[in-house]
């Protein structure tokens, strides 16, 4: 800024004497940073209005008093990395991707306190790498920083990187981090890294490992309420493994892993909190903790399992020769309607694998299994308030031979019932349903007329969706974010990934393409839903009959009470007994009056209830 102008401002604001140097650095084209508005560029100064014209990342021009700028803006020098990026984006982007550690090291070195906060890294590199690619980039860079002998997390500010005066070995760095952290969960996580070190590196820190073992033992005996059973079990394993490295006897260590498992009242919850790398070890521990009933314990865990643990649990039982036991479990659960989505997914994927031919019986692969599959997808769809994917539903759509295989023992009547289930399923869109119906028709051509009639009936009756104003606005906001932010960001991510070379081995490109399919599918679904949506006012409901916008009070023959609010199509919240009117349970209640009997099916249980009272929802909130 011109010296004369600075002197004029200083005369009006004598307290700004100390900031004169800062004003001198404000010139046309200078870059600056505002805490809320982000990176900006000064376009020029207007003397008559005494304002600086600045464009920030929102692309709007802001007119600011120089005094405000002195107090609120950080003026960036020409050697600042963001200024360099603006002037030469290709070079800085290339460095950020190929030499990220060296770049961060130089940033720490140039900083006034020789430290760089994680928030600063995020602010800088989100602008260099881009929002869409930053998370993946930062995940990889953190691993590289952890291996750098000159960079460490500050012992005083745990979210800040510092530059060491002398390089430190990986093993010494791990020991240092264990000592720094007071959070027991973080301490256990870092201590586990010692187990991955080469044997010769472990030998050099034998004394420190002994101290770590003592620290972990202290955590286990402190009865720290912050630790879950799974975290205590992980701590136990890490402690014992470290003790084994330095030759310490572990038989007298307390508590033992077996004791922790025996004392656990909910092994299923324990598994949910465990890292997948510990699944096999946990199952082996179950056999030690419950030698007389380990098979049944494993089966109980499998029945309610999720994700990778389902496969791990089945393989564990198969490798121990439990083929007959596992086959009987599958058949019994099918008859009890207790086969859940993850186990069904595993059965479908492995039904032709020779290794599991003794486990997946011919009796299992039939129309009953298809019934269980549609039921599981419907239950998951009802419980799924977001657009989260359902792997079982995707597998049913993608496996072209599945319906043919499962209809091998079906009669035409069975096929009709299954088509009816598919028609009412709330997850599959109309296009996917038509695709699946075609597979039914291929096996049973005679049901084509029935399916055509049902589809035309559904299309004529399912014209609109009754929704609340709040849920409509939420859907509309989701759609706008999808159109204006997520899809453009994904498009940019695809373009960036494409630049990395050979697409056949480009995992970033494939992931971005998969994300694109999900985003576009969600866009189409939201567009269709918003077109069908009809906003209703719950205040128009009355308490004479169960309808949308009412709360119904029920009592069964055991004098047990239940209460449900029936609201719009997108208002469902089962945890708080709020039902979408589209759900089967709500459909069973609609149009009922006080004194009417109603049969309701929840899960596998069908029970009789009587309507005791009906209230308007708006009167109770």
SS (H, E, C) 131-142: HHHHHHHHHHHH
Give the percent of the chain with pLDDT over 90.
38
pLDDT of residue 531: 83
For 535-576, what is each residue's pLDDT tens digit? 888 887 888 888 889 999 998 877 888 899 999 989 988 888
Query: Which CATH number is correct for 82-168, 3.30.420, 2.60.40, 1.10.10, 1.10.760?
Result: 1.10.10
pLDDT of residue 419: 87
Of 9-18, 97-106, 469-478, 519-528, the poorest mean pLDDT is in 9-18
**CA–CA separation, 168 and 298 (whole Å):** 45
Beta carbons within 8 Å of 299's beta carbon, 6+ residues apart:
317, 325, 326, 329
Most confident range, picked from 291-295, 456-460, 559-563, 583-587: 291-295
In angstroms, the Cα distances linking 282 to 286, 294, 331, 444 are 6, 12, 26, 47
**CA–CA separation, 429 and 434 (whole Å):** 9
pLDDT of residue 35: 76
Q: What integer is the mean pLDDT of 510-531?
A: 80
Q: What is the DSSP letter of 278?
A: G
Most confident range, picked from 305-314, 488-497, 606-615: 305-314
pLDDT band at 9 (very low <50, low <70, confident <90, very high): low
Considering the chain, what is the average pLDDT of its residues? 85
Beta carbons within 8 Å of 248's beta carbon, 6+ residues apart:
210, 213
Give the DSSP H/E element, type plus range, for residue 579: strand 578-580
**CA–CA separation, 525 and 460 (whole Å):** 19
The answer to whether residue 17 scores a pLDDT higher than 60 is no
Residue whose pair of structure tokens reads 């399992």 in the numeric block: 305
Statement: 3-76 belongs to CATH 2.30.30.140: yes
Most confident range, picked from 173-187, 352-366, 584-598: 352-366
In angstroms, the Cα distances linking 535 to 159, 464, 470, 531, 568 are 47, 10, 9, 11, 9
pLDDT of residue 300: 94
The CA-CA-CA angle for residues 329, 334, 335, to 5°, reads 100
* CB contact at 8 A, 97 and 84: no
Domain boundaries, the chain: 3-76, 82-168, 465-535, 539-619
More confidently predicted of 156 and 409: 409
pLDDT of residue 15: 47
* CB contact at 8 A, 258 and 290: no
The answer to whether residue 455 scores a pLDDT higher than 70 is no
Q: How many C-beta atoms lie closer than 10 Å to residue 206's C-beta? A: 11
Domains 3-76 and 539-619 agree in fold: no
The answer to whether residue 123 scores a pLDDT higher than 70 is yes
Query: Which CATH number is correct for 539-619, 3.40.50.720, 3.40.50.10490, 1.10.4030.10, 3.10.50.30?
Result: 3.10.50.30
pLDDT of residue 88: 92
Q: How many C-beta atoms lie closer than 10 Å to residue 195's C-beta? A: 13
Q: What integer is the mean pLDDT of 443-471?
A: 71
3-state secondary structure of 557: coil
Beta carbons within 8 Å of 617's beta carbon, 6+ residues apart:
538, 541, 549, 550, 551, 565, 567
For 197-242, what is each residue's pLDDT tens digit? 888 888 889 999 999 999 999 999 887 888 999 999 999 999 999 9
The answer to whether residue 41 scores a pLDDT higher than 60 is yes
The answer to whether residue 369 scores a pLDDT higher than 50 is yes
Statement: 465-535 belongs to CATH 1.10.645.10: no
More confidently predicted of 476 and 516: 476
């Amino acid at each position: 800024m011109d010296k004369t102008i600075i002197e004029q401002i200083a005369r009006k604001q004598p307290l700004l004497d100390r900031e004169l140097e800062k004003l001198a650095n404000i010139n046309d084209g200078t870059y600056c940073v505002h805490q809320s508005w982000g990176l900006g560029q000064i376009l020029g100064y207007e003397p008559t209005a005494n304002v600086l014209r600045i464009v920030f990342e929102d692309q709007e021009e802001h007119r600011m008093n120089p005094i405000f700028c002195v107090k609120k803006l950080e003026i960036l020098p020409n050697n600042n990395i963001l200024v360099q990026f603006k002037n030469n984006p290709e070079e800085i982007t290339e460095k950020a991707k190929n030499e990220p550690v060296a770049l961060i090291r130089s940033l720490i070195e140039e900083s006034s306190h020789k430290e760089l906060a994680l928030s600063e890294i995020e602010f800088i590199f989100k602008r260099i790498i881009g929002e869409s690619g930053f998370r993946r980039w930062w995940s990889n860079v953190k691993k590289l920083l952890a291996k750098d002998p000159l960079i460490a997390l500050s012992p005083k500010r745990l979210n800040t990187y510092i530059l060491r005066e002398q390089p430190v070995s990986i093993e010494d760095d791990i020991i240092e981090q264990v000592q720094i952290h007071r959070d027991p969960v973080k301490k256990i996580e870092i201590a586990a890294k010692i187990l991955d070190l080469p044997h010769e590196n472990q030998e050099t820190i034998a004394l420190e490992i002994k101290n770590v073992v003592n620290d972990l033992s202290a955590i286990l005996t402190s009865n720290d309420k912050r630790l879950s059973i799974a975290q205590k079990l992980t701590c136990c394993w890490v402690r014992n493994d470290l003790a084994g490295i330095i030759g310490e006897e572990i038989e007298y260590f307390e508590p033992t892993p077996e004791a922790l498992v025996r004392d656990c009242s909910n092994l299923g919850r324990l598994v949910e909190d465990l890292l997948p790398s510990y699944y096999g070890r946990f199952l082996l521990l179950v056999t030690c903790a419950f030698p007389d009933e380990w098979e049944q314990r494993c089966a109980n865990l499998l029945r309610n399992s999720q994700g990778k643990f389902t496969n791990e649990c089945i393989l564990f039982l198969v490798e121990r020769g439990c083929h007959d036991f596992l086959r009987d479990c599958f058949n019994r659960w099918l008859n009890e309607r207790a086969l859940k989505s993850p186990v069904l997914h595993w059965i479908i994927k492995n039904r032709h694998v020779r290794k599991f031919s003794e486990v997946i019986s011919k009796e299992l692969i039939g129309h009953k299994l298809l019934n269980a599959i549609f039921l599981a997808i419907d239950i998951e769809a009802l419980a799924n308030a977001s657009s989260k994917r359902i792997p079982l539903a995707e597998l049913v759509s993608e496996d072209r031979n599945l319906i043919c295989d499962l209809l091998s023992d079906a009669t035409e009547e069975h096929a009709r019932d299954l088509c009816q289930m598919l028609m009412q399923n709330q997850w599959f869109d109309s296009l996917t349903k038509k695709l699946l119906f075609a597979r039914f028709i291929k096996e049973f051509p005679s049901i084509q007329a029935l399916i055509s009639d049902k589809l035309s009936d559904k299309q004529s009756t399912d014209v609109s969706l009754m929704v609340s104003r709040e849920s409509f606005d939420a859907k509309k906001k989701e759609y706008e974010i999808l159109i204006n932010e997520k899809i453009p960001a994904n498009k940019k991510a695809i373009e960036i990934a494409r630049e990395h070379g050979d697409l056949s081995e480009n995992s970033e490109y494939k992931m971005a393409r998969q994300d694109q399919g999900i985003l576009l599918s969600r866009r189409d679904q939201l567009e269709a839903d918003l077109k069908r949506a009809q906003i209703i006012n719950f205040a128009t409901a009355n308490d004479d009959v169960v309808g949308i916008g009412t709360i119904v009070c029920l009592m069964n023959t055991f004098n047990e009470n239940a209460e449900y609010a029936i609201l719009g199509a997108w208002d469902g919240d089962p945890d708080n007994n709020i039902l979408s009117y589209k759900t089967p349970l709500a459909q069973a209640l609609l149009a009922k009056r006080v004194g009417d009997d109603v049969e309701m099916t929840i899960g596998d249980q069908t029970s009789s209830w009587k309507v005791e009272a009906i209230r308007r929802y708006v009167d109770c909130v």
